[in-house]
Amino acid sequence: MQIEREAWAVLLILLLAAAVAYAHVTTTTEEYSRYNTGWNGTSALPAEEVRDLRNLDTAATLLILAPDRPFTAEEVGYLRTFLDAGGRVVIADEQGAANSLLADLGSTMRVRPGNLSSLERDRADPGIFAARVVGNTSLFAGVGTVLVNRPAAVTGGEPLLETAALTWEDADGDGRISGDEVFGTAVTCAAEGNLTVLGDESLFINAMLAENPQFIENIQPVQVDRIHSGTGTANPIVNTRLWIQETPPAAAAVAALAILPVAWHFGRKRDD
Amino acid sequence: MAGAKKYYAAAVLAVWLIIIAFFMVLSRTLDLEVFFVLALIGLLVVAVLIDGAFSRPRYMRYIGYIIAAGVALFAYIVVQKILEILAA
Amino acid sequence: MNARASHTILAAAAILVLVLIGVQAVDPVLYAAKNISTAAHVDPATIQKRSIGDAASLVPLMDDLLGQTGTLALTIKLKDYESAERDLARYNELSRRFDRLVVTLDVSGTNIGEFQQNNRQNQDALTALLNDTRQFDALQRLEIEVRGDDEQHMTVVYEGEALRQKMRESFSAYAKREAATVRIAEHYDINATPYQESVDHFAEVADAANGWQEEINGNGTGPAQSPLVIAVTPVEGSYGDVLLIGGVHAGGRPGTPIDIYVDSRLAATAALDDDRAYVHPYQVGRILAGPHLAYATAGTIYSNVAAFEVLPQNTSITLALAEVNGTTVACTGNLTTDDARPVTQAPVLIRVDGDTLVAAETDGNGTYRKDIPLPAGEHALRAEFHAAGYPLNASESPTEIATLRGEGLSPFPFAAAIAAAAGTGWYLRRRRPEENTPAAEPEATPPPEAARPAPQVSIAGLPPREAATVLFCALRARLNLPKTKTPRDCARIAPAYAVFFERYERIRYAGETPSEEELMDMERIALGGDADRA
């Protein structure tokens, strides 16, 4: 009896250690990743993921968050179909990677990446400040100001979010206006019909969801384009798990792998 | 079973350390000082529980020194934190 | 599964965990709380909130300032001097607040700084306009009284001429600033209409003075020429330059004191020499850049008005840090113009960590020195010169980092650690006195007899308490103690085995049950062993 108890204790310790390792290995620290439970992940954003741009549901808003992959001509066609059918597309980008997509879609809006900083703020960092809602759209209904986090400026289109007058582009990154930097208002969100370009991807990270609750509520229901958004992960274990979940044969194989040894152990005749 | 108590004590201490590590990894805050203090508490609890009143096995002989060193380090950490708070 | 297998598995698990940790060891900053910002965003939960600050009031304040110029110019034109005084006081108050805000927000390098300089000059111009208009009014009344007296009339005419020239020059400078100020106002969406109206009012006041002067000159041959002439050479200068202000008084006696005014403030008094000429070296000091006016009076005779221009110059300021002790840092530096001229008695601001401002002043050589107490750690310091009231451009030094050690390593934690270790040691020793006493004191009472060969007793299979009893009897027999001795007596007689007997006493009479281990020890002692357990 004693020996078996010892074995169980060892097994318990192993399980605990394995749980620790699992918890560490299945979450990441990549920016915007849905598997990042930290402050800069998007694990808390209530959204469903779509892998295919064909036949999208026009009732939900399509969110392209931090796009890092180019769109093929086919995909641009699907997007245009979606827009024409009345679906709403929100492109959140502050790196400028969406500019080629915007050009393909025939839009005049462009994202101008930079380091917008403002003097009129209530936090110690010049990159976090409140932008005023101008323009009339359901996306910002009931919202007076939106807290933005190091946004980029958006040119063209009908302005929806405007910064205060004492905002400047901090080219040398010293946190204060110096050299030949000038003050001026900037637009951080613009729209053309159903297509909205938001110059701040950071509005959707876990730490910022609580700062703009009305906006997050207005944008629901939302579907995130998994192929092109930066919400994936390079972690091979998470990707393997996802692949297993999506491919039914693989899931069946894993289940069989788990059940067979147990069945064999209890099924064979015990010779005492 | 001579020595069964020894193994149980070691196993309990190991499980306790793994539990602390688990919660630290889960909350993504690794703090060496907190880990050390919790480990010291575990060690003290285990030492008190396995201590026989009138017999001192070989593996318990030098635990006094380990505990004294641990408490000295703990006192150092505590006083440094107090000084930090006072200076702020 | 036997012990060996479980040991192997444990060892394998330990190695696996160490490998997993080792993989992370290359980049050990896992989940550190320092990881609060990336290029794309900052964690708002870790950024301190601060009060909204006054940045939001900057643009409205500029709006107020421009609006106030309109009101002030209007009241001056309407000759409502009481309201004008009140308006001027409010305008000065607003300007003071604006200056403070610009310095605190650190925006003097932008076009707001340019606006600030224009505003200061407007302030001076409007104050001068008010005083001049008042004086002009008094003059107009006086003129009517002295119409009969030619000589007195002439002095009035000269004074009127001086005032007219002043207002004209003042107005042209004011109008020159209009374009730049309106441009900046439009950049910030500020209503510049009141300001533009003020320029018109100013023009009207200057024209009215013009008209009156032409009237009293009658159909003369142009403006009257005062016997007292003033000129400034050279016509331009910058900070530190010496301009010669002088002239001739055609109708004066040598030795007459001549009062020289710069911008309606008395600058110096010179005496007429034998050639009826006077001269005064005027050093350009704390005076705004731009056009200025100088005139002289000899008693009641006013001279013409001479204009001279003060040119702005760039400055440079240096900052050097030296550690005085662990808690104070000494900041020294030089403030000089581009011509290597030191700026003396000038206010210098030292900005600590972007927020706190410490004031210092340069001495006669343009050097400043200030000791600043700071808490331990790294601090960023920058020296700034905001050229308020100087014909100089603002400048700032590069940011220097001061690292302060603080008060050094405190002895308290170490003392606490040593005390805690000593206390633990003392406590643990106190709990186990029986360990030391047998070892420490020499064998005072040797055991009654050396060991008799131990009786072979076996306690296998016996319940614990009975086993203990058997062992007790065995030991008692081995030590040749009479069977009548109780455990306590035995302990007294044979103190070397006192622990054993005391333990047995508790088992026998207090109902305690010995553990396996204790039984093993007791067996060892009873059947022949030493006081120290192995």
What is the crossing angle of helices C433-440 and C412-431, to 10°? 80
Contact list in B for residue A16 (CB cut-off 8 A) is 15, 18-19, 22
Residue of chain C minimizing CA distance to B3: C517
What is the crossing angle of helices C81-105 and C111-145, to 10°? 160
β-bridge partners, C301: C298
A149 — phi, psi (to 5°)? -130, 100
A13, A24, A38 member nearest B18 (Cβ): A13
Residues A52 and A113 in one domain: yes
Residue A33 lies in a domain: no
- Position C450 scores a pLDDT of 47
Q: Is the dihedral of CA C155, C157, C158, C160 positive or negative?
A: positive
Residue C203 lies in a domain: yes
ipTM of the complex, rounded to two decimals: 0.75
Residues A186 and A62 in one domain: yes
B65/A164 Cα distance (integer angstroms): 65
Residues C297 and C321 in one domain: no
Domain count, chain A: 2
Phi-psi region of A266 (alpha: psi -120 to 50; beta: other; left: phi over 0): alpha
Residue C238 to residues C156, C253, C281: CA-CA distances in angstroms?
34, 34, 14
Question: What pLDDT band is residue A9 in, cutting at 50, 70 and 90?
Answer: confident
The residue out of C171, C188, C223 marking a domain boundary is C223
Intra-chain end-to-end CA distance of chain C, in Å: 30
Residues A155 and A247 in one domain: no
Mean pLDDT of all residues in C88-97: 94
**How far does A24 lie from chain B, in Å, by closest CA?**
6
Query: Which range marks the domain in which residue C524 is found?
Result: 454-534
- The candidate with the shortest Cα–Cα distance to A28, out of A19, A38, A20, is A38
Residue C445 lies in a domain: no
Q: What is the per-residue pLDDT across C238-253, written as a single tens digit (0 to 9) for each? A: 998 999 998 888 887 8
Intra-chain end-to-end CA distance of chain B, in Å: 55
- Least confident among B7-11, B13-17, C266-270, C432-436: C432-436
The SS3 assignment for C248 reads strand
DSSP character at residue A271: P
Q: Is C471 exposed, middle or buried (0-12, 13-18, 19+ CB in 10 A)?
A: buried
- Position C440 scores a pLDDT of 41
Mean pLDDT of all residues in C100-128: 89
Output the six-digit token pair for C388: 């308020």
C435/C394 Cα distance (integer angstroms): 81
Question: What pLDDT band is residue C88 in, cutting at 50, 70 and 90?
Answer: very high
Residues A83 and A12 in one domain: no
Residue of chain C minimizing CA distance to A19: C17
- Position C25 scores a pLDDT of 61
> Counting one residue from A and one from C, how many pairs have CB atoms under 8 Å apart?
114
Residues C107 and C66 in one domain: yes
- Position A187 scores a pLDDT of 92
Helix (H) or strand (E) holding A187: strand A187-192
Residue A272 lies in a domain: no
Cα C280–C284–C290 angle (5° rounding)? 115
The residue out of C269, C295, C312 marking a domain boundary is C312
C6, C42, C110 member nearest A128 (Cβ): C42
Question: What pLDDT band is residue C444 in, cutting at 50, 70 and 90?
Answer: very low
Contact list in B for residue C533 (CB cut-off 8 A) is 55-57
A94/A201 Cα distance (integer angstroms): 6
Residue of chain C minimizing CA distance to B68: C421
Task: Give me the CATH number covering residue C280.
Answer: 2.60.40.10
Question: What pLDDT band is residue C226 in, cutting at 50, 70 and 90?
Answer: confident
Mean pLDDT of all residues in C191-207: 92
Instruction: Answer yes or no: is pLDDT of B38 > 90.
Output: yes
Residue type, C425: G
Q: Does B25 touch chain A (CB under 8 A)?
A: yes
Mean pLDDT of all residues in A52-79: 88
Residues C217 and C263 in one domain: no
Contact list in C for residue B30 (CB cut-off 8 A) is 30-32
Task: Give me the CATH number covering residue A210.
Answer: 3.40.50
C418, C424, C435 member nearest B67 (Cβ): C424
Residues C275 and C358 in one domain: no
Residue positions counted in chain A: 272
Domain count, chain C: 4
**Cα-based torsion angle of the residue sequence C177, C179, C184, C186 in order, rounded to the nearest 10 degrees:** 140
CB atoms within 10 A of CB A88: 22
Phi-psi region of C303 (alpha: psi -120 to 50; beta: other; left: phi over 0): beta
Residues A131 and A221 in one domain: yes
Residue A259 lies in a domain: yes
Residues C68 and C123 in one domain: yes
Query: Which range marks the domain in which residue A221 is found?
Result: 48-225
**Test the A interface: residue of C23, C41, C62, C184 with most A CBs within 10 Å:** C41
A2, A20, A38 member nearest B25 (Cβ): A20
Cβ atoms C163, C139 nearer than 8 A = yes
Q: What is the per-residue pLDDT across C281-332, written as a single tens digit (0 to 9) for each? A: 999 988 888 889 898 888 888 888 888 999 988 999 999 999 888 788 999 9
Instruction: Answer yes or no: is pLDDT of C529 > 90.
Output: no
Q: Is the peptide bond before A236 cis (omega within 30 degrees of 0)?
A: no
Residues A147 and A260 in one domain: no
Question: What pLDDT band is residue C442 in, cutting at 50, 70 and 90?
Answer: very low
Residues A156 and A189 in one domain: yes
Residues C75 and C214 in one domain: yes
Residues A133 and A13 in one domain: no
Whether residue C110 and residue A183 make contact (CB cut-off 8 A), yes or no, is yes
Residue of chain C minimizing CA distance to A212: C44
Work out the widest C-alpha separation in chain B, in whole angstroms: 55
Residue C410 lies in a domain: no
Output the six-digit token pair for C446: 């040797």
Q: What is the per-residue pLDDT across C13-26, written as a single tens digit (0 to 9) for each? A: 778 877 876 776 65
The SS3 assignment for C71 reads helix
Contact list in A for residue C9 (CB cut-off 8 A) is 10, 14
Question: What pLDDT band is residue C445 in, cutting at 50, 70 and 90?
Answer: very low
Contact list in B for residue A10 (CB cut-off 8 A) is 11
**Test the C interface: residue of B5, B33, B43, B55 with most C CBs within 10 Å:** B55
Instruction: Answer yes or no: is pLDDT of A129 > 50.
Output: yes
DSSP character at residue C390: S
Residues C70 and C196 in one domain: yes
The residue out of C223, C258, C279 marking a domain boundary is C223
Residue of chain B minimizing CA distance to A25: B25
Instruction: Answer yes or no: is pLDDT of C448 > 50.
Output: no
Domain boundaries, given as residue ranges, for chain B: 4-87
C418/B73 Cα distance (integer angstroms): 9
Residues C307 and C320 in one domain: no
Contact list in B for residue C33 (CB cut-off 8 A) is 29
Contact list in B for residue C25 (CB cut-off 8 A) is none
C487/C60 Cα distance (integer angstroms): 98
A12, A13, A23 member nearest B25 (Cβ): A23
Residue A169 lies in a domain: yes
Whether residue C418 and residue B72 make contact (CB cut-off 8 A), yes or no, is yes
Residue C154 to residues C146, C185, C506: CA-CA distances in angstroms?
9, 45, 130
